[in-house]
Chain A
Amino acid sequence: MRQAIVYTETVIHSAPEQFAAEAPYQIAVVTFEDQTRLLVRISGQRVQIGDAVREVESSLTYPIFEVIS
């Protein structure tokens, strides 16, 4: 699975109606080795700028990453 570095992040408390039940949740822009970036959902432990993260398998339509501990 893909690995990347957290470029920026936020924890959303006030969510759009479609995601309101999931709040608070964290999203991040991550940078891959080839310098491309992607907006992803973070699962599990909260991450900070500079943290290494990896993609986790998911049946959802959007990418989900978690911190590499």
Chain B
Amino acid sequence: MRPVHVAGIGKTAFGALAGRSLKDLAIEAIAACLLDAGKSTSDVEAVYVGNFDAPSFTGQNHLAPFIAGAVGIHGVPATRFEAACASGGSALFHAMQAVASGTYENVLVCGVEKMTSQTTARVAQILAGAGDAELESSIGATFPAIFAMIARRHMHQYGTTREHLAAVAVKNHYNASLNPQAHLKKVITLEQALAGKPVAEPFTIYDCSLVSDGAAALWITSEPSAIRVAACAQASGPVSLADKADITTLEATKLAAAKAYKQAGIQASDIDIAEVHDCFTIAELIAMEDLGFIDKGGSGPWVASGATGINGVLPVNTSGGLKAKGHPIGATGVAQICDLILQMRGEAGARQVAKANTALAQNLGGSGATSVVTILQRS
């Protein structure tokens, strides 16, 4: 397998973007990506689109050729990848494989989701489709509820507290306040996070990521450039929560991380900065453990101590994360890479970290049914 690089990034602002269509958002992200890479539509050899459920959210299916055609890319293969909230990461993983294997020189990856034209109850219903339809959504389980049950168990086994969970939300809201493209740029206090409207106990609204619109794009290429994809690994786990031996760990993340560290020839302690999948506050805590940044059960006190703040030992979700930057599902795994590359280029503005030579992204689907771990290094 040959080296693969990311030579261009493009991203829309995330938010409740009334009047902006799915197509419109994808076009903006792709145009920005092509401009950044210095390429044109005729250089694209394949289009990989990450998207969770445009058919349910917007009525649009057959998305990849729809988007390719909209930006003026014709004739080349265009394919949609669906892996729930890891749809973007999965599109990236497959693009990386295609370029590494020599199938293509240049692949355009686009992640996109348009969610805010639906009601909250309808969004909950659509998202529940990423779980086990027969055993979970049929009894009224929602995704917040699935992760709330993971949180309850983590609290029970390791003494993790509501304050530890809230610390994730406070940090990510602060980071997003420094990100001009974030969905919510509102700083919150620990007290506010704890007193939010209940969603699924022990979660309040501040433990949950946002319902957002947005798109992001990447230029994946064999041509040498400043940022190399040192590793990209995808792994699977049980879709149903009841089928996991221990719900306080997400096996797919551990598997993908082990593979990615091996591929890159590095260890967790070599990572300078990370964007992880904080769909719920507990997910960021568990990711710290599953990615090997802190011992099992120790994530709550560690994150609450400020270790993962912008000036901490390991800055995590400096973009604001899914919690406050926003979570347009299919775009998330692609946007994580864009945000890390801004940091690696020293273009992250007010949220710029001191050192970003080796960066890690973790993108999760469902309650751990898919996990994609990507490691980027400066060439």
Q: Please give the residue numbers on chain A whose beta carbons come within 8 Å of chain B beta carbons, in ascending order.
A: 7-20, 22, 24-25, 27-29, 37-41, 49, 61-63
Interface code B143-169, partner A: CB below 8 Å = 1, 0 otherwise?
A: 011001110110010000000000000
Say which residue of B124, B149, B153, B240 sits within 8 Å of A15 (CB atoms).
B124
Determine if B200 and A39 form an interchain contact, defined as CB atoms under 8 angstroms apart. Answer: no
Interface code B187-205, partner A: CB below 8 Å = 1, 0 otherwise?
A: 0000000000111111100
Contacts of B120 in A (CB 8 A): 14
**Taking A8-B150, A10-B148 as contacts, is the C-beta distance between A27 and B141 under 8 angstroms?**
yes
**Taking A9-B152, A14-B200, A25-B140 as contacts, is the C-beta distance between A39 and B241 under 8 angstroms?**
yes
Closest-CB distance, A41 to chain B (whole angstroms): 5
Cα–Cα, bound, A29→B367 (Å): 14
A-B contact pairs, 8 of them (CB 8 A): A10-B145, A11-B200, A14-B200, A15-B140, A18-B140, A27-B140, A29-B149, A39-B241
Determine if A40 and B139 form an interchain contact, defined as CB atoms under 8 angstroms apart. Answer: yes
Say which residue of B150, B198, B240 sits within 8 Å of A13 (CB atoms).
B198
Cα–Cα, bound, A29→B28 (Å): 44
Best-buried of B120, B121, B198, B243 by chain A (most CB within 10 Å): B121
Cα–Cα, bound, A61→B200 (Å): 23
With both beta carbons as reference points, the residue of chain B lying nearest to A36 in the complex is identified as B242
Say which residue of A13, A17, A18 sits within 8 Å of B199 (CB atoms).
A13
Determine if B124 and A9 form an interchain contact, defined as CB atoms under 8 angstroms apart. Answer: no
With both beta carbons as reference points, the residue of chain A lying nearest to B208 in the complex is identified as A14
Best-buried of B121, B145, B203 by chain A (most CB within 10 Å): B145
Closest-CB distance, A9 to chain B (whole angstroms): 6
Determine if B137 and A16 form an interchain contact, defined as CB atoms under 8 angstroms apart. Answer: yes
Contacts of B137 in A (CB 8 A): 16
| Residues of B115-138 contacting chain A, CB below 8 A | 119-122, 124-125, 128, 135-138
Determine if B199 and A62 form an interchain contact, defined as CB atoms under 8 angstroms apart. Answer: no
Determine if B153 and A17 form an interchain contact, defined as CB atoms under 8 angstroms apart. Answer: no
Contacts of B152 in A (CB 8 A): 8-10, 49
Contacts of B352 in A (CB 8 A): none
Contacts of B128 in A (CB 8 A): 16
With both beta carbons as reference points, the residue of chain A lying nearest to B143 in the complex is identified as A16
Contacts of B149 in A (CB 8 A): 8-10, 27-29
Q: What 6 pairs between A and B have smallest CB-CB spacing?
A: A17-B121, A19-B140, A10-B148, A62-B139, A16-B125, A37-B242
Q: A10-B149, A10-B202, A16-B137 are in contact. List 19 more A-B contacts (CB 8 A).
A: A7-B153, A8-B150, A10-B201, A11-B198, A12-B145, A12-B199, A14-B120, A14-B124, A14-B200, A16-B125, A17-B122, A18-B125, A18-B140, A29-B242, A37-B242, A38-B135, A39-B136, A40-B139, A41-B140
Determine if B139 and A41 form an interchain contact, defined as CB atoms under 8 angstroms apart. Answer: yes
Closest-CB distance, B351 to chain A (whole angstroms): 30
Cα–Cα, bound, A19→B136 (Å): 13
With both beta carbons as reference points, the residue of chain A lying nearest to B138 in the complex is identified as A62
Contacts of B199 in A (CB 8 A): 12-14
Contacts of A37 in B (CB 8 A): 242-243
Contacts of A41 in B (CB 8 A): 139-140
Best-buried of A25, A27, A39 by chain B (most CB within 10 Å): A39
Cα–Cα, bound, A29→B139 (Å): 12
Determine if A11 and B201 form an interchain contact, defined as CB atoms under 8 angstroms apart. Answer: yes
Cα–Cα, bound, A20→B124 (Å): 10
Cα–Cα, bound, A29→B141 (Å): 11
